[in-house]
Amino acid sequence: DPIDDTIRQRRALMSQAEAFEAVHVPTTLDLLEPARDRFRYQEAFVLQTILALRRKAMAASDATARPGSDDGLARAIEQRLPFALTEGQQNAVAEIRGDLARPAPMQRLLHGEVGAGKTLVALLAMATVVDSGGQAVLLAPTEVLAAQHHASISALLGELAEAGTLLGGSTGTQVVLLTGSASAASRREALLKIVSGEAGIVVGTHALLNEAVQFADLGLVVVDEQHRFGVEQRAALLERGSGTSRPHLLVMTATPIPRTVAMTVFGDLDVTTLRELPAGRAGVSTFVVNESLAPRHAERTWERVVEEVGQGRKVYVVCPRIGDGEPFEPEEGLPDDLIDLDFATPEQTRGVLRTADDLADGPLAGLRIGVMHGRLHSSEKADVMRRFAADSGTPDAIDV
């Protein structure tokens, strides 16, 4: 019995043998629910025990303390910002810096909705590690997201990202992007900067998990959209520390996580939640429309798109597949345990190509519609995103 007698008696639980008998050959239905309660408790008990052991093992591991400095890159970034950090961001940065300053590996989940400022908090954490002589890596699930992170981090750093060049100052570091579609020359240059330590911040996709990627002194691993990576994939980077020293780990997600779920699923992680949006950020409203049950509401959805575009705003549409009639193709970075889930059939969903054509010939006729999907060359994807982000460029809507 995995549950100790003392705990079982305190909780007034059946023994495992009694519970099995009550479930499979109950003498009375009154015993069925208590038996199920016993197994529910056992499931939670075993899970929490595993997480507690994992936390204990991690606490016993060695990590290099990365306390940062008062006048280094992190400080320079904060001084460059045209806005003040929210109270939540300040608290998150303080918690993370406290973890980084200890000689045990940080294991922290940074949770906040889109627009809450998670990337900036992560950047300040990475800068703190750079100030301590280490390197930081940001792992993103797709090339588009990795490129966006690289661009936004480089923009925030400005000349601070030009360390080692004529434009760079004494405080700064180089930011390198490494993805699977990089040319041989670009990949070779990136690998050299990473292994030499010239690049203090590395942004990339699954290409970073390749054993050919070696770091001079990896101090922090940041995983964006952590649910898109398996445990083994995260572990592959955490084994790249110097000697027996493990890198610190910060995982980020915008997926809403109730407190009880955070305790059960992420029990081996400390949780930091950003609860407020920076000033000027609009709130996020979510609506679910069932096309078959409410066709008029579906029509209204596209009318709202036209209205938003008419006010100078832009829209993107996400589809589950590229072409119609194709089997489900797991998205880049989807963990193996999610690949076999029962997804909607092709008859129930429409692909990117058909949706773009239907919208162009129907409710969004006259609008500029771009198309982007995983089969496009990286340069084509970058061009679509560049034009979509441009204030006066095309398209008005993007179908992905």
**Percent of the chain predicted with pLDDT > 90:** 40
Q: Tell me the C-alpha distance between 360 and 367, whole Å.
A: 7
Taking the CA atoms of the chain, what radius of gyration do you get in angstroms? 25
| 156-202 tens-digit pLDDT | 998 888 765 444 455 789 999 999 888 899 999 999 999 999 999 99
Q: What is the pLDDT of residue 131?
A: 94
Residue 16, class by beta-carbon neighbours within 10 Å (0-12 exposed, 13-18 middle, 19+ buried)? middle
Q: What is the pLDDT of residue 267?
A: 64
CATH, domain range 73-274: 3.40.50.300
Chain-centre distance for alpha carbon 333? 11
CA nearest 313: which of 371, 399, 395?
Answer: 395
Q: What is the pLDDT of residue 197?
A: 92
- Identify any residues that bridge with 317 across adjacent strands, giving them in sequence order: 399
pLDDT band at residue 386, thresholds of 50, 70 and 90? Answer: confident
Which one-letter DSSP state was computed for residue 102? S
Q: What is the pTM of this model?
A: 0.73
Q: Kindly report which listed range (57-61, 102-106, 143-147) carries the lowest average pLDDT score.
A: 57-61
**Percent of the chain predicted with pLDDT > 70:** 84
pLDDT band at residue 123, thresholds of 50, 70 and 90? Answer: very high
Given a cut of 90, whether residue 334 has pLDDT beyond it is: no
Q: Alpha carbon of 61 to those of 221, 232, 243, 329: distances in Å?
A: 16, 18, 12, 38
Q: Alpha carbon of 9 to those of 2, 6, 12, 19, 348: distances in Å?
A: 13, 5, 5, 14, 51
- Local structure of 136: helix, strand or coil: strand
Encoded amino acid at 110, one letter: L
Pick the more confident residue, 370 or 125.
Answer: 125
Q: Where are the domains of the chain?
A: 5-60, 73-274, 295-399
Q: What is the pLDDT of residue 393?
A: 53
Q: Which residue has the tokens 């495992």?
A: 16
Q: What is the pLDDT of residue 340?
A: 47
Mean pLDDT, rounded, for 316-344: 60
Q: What is the pLDDT of residue 8?
A: 92
Phi, psi of 133 (to 5 degrees): 90, 5
Chain-centre distance for alpha carbon 305? 28
**Residue 22: both structure tokens together:** 């009550």
CA nearest 116: which of 71, 84, 86?
Answer: 86
Q: What is the pLDDT of residue 128?
A: 96
Mean pLDDT rounded to a whole number for the chain: 83
Q: What is the pLDDT of residue 400?
A: 53
Q: Tell me the C-alpha distance between 158 and 177, whole Å.
A: 16
Q: Tell me the C-alpha distance between 127 and 181, whole Å.
A: 27
Q: What is the pLDDT of residue 284?
A: 72
Which one-letter DSSP state was computed for residue 352? H
Q: Tell me the C-alpha distance between 198 and 168, whole Å.
A: 13
Q: What is the pLDDT of residue 35?
A: 94
Q: Are 314 and 367 in contact (CB under 8 A)?
A: no
Chain-centre distance for alpha carbon 143? 13
Q: Tell me the C-alpha distance between 110 and 271, whole Å.
A: 6
CA nearest 168: which of 132, 214, 199, 190?
Answer: 199
Return the number of other C-beta atoms located less than 10 Å from residue 242's C-beta.
15
pLDDT band at residue 342, thresholds of 50, 70 and 90? Answer: very low
